[in-house]
């Protein structure tokens, strides 16, 4: 059971890193598209989705850590 939990936490951490990379790229795109309404609008939308995704992953990580603490 511990190994599954450790793998899950590692996976969540890897996802968090990827989400951060995507966030950075979306911010760069937003800056590059400054003055181009279609790019600015879509970059804002992408950043909104990333924000939701980031908090979804962090919520999963919190639940996994609590579960591990209760069973460990």
Between 65 and 44, the more confident residue is: 44
- pLDDT-derived band at 1, boundaries 50, 70, 90: very low
Predicted structure pTM score: 0.73
Mean per-residue pLDDT, 6-23: 86
How many domains is the chain built from?
Answer: 1
* pLDDT tens by residue, 32-41: 999 999 999 9
* Residue 32: both structure tokens together: 């590059």
- Domain range spanning residue 9? 2-71
Mean pLDDT, the chain, whole residue set: 84
Give the burial class of 9: count Cβ atoms within 10 A of its Cβ; 0-12 exposed, 13-18 middle, 19 or more buried. Answer: middle
């Amino acid at each position: 059971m511990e190994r599954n939990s450790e793998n899950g936490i590692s996976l969540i951490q890897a996802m968090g890193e990827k989400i951060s990379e995507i966030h950075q790229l979306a911010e760069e795109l937003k800056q590059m598209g400054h003055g181009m309404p279609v790019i600015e609008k879509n970059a804002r939308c992408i950043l909104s989705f990333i924000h939701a995704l980031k908090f979804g992953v962090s919520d999963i990580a919190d639940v996994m850590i609590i579960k591990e603490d209760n069973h460990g």
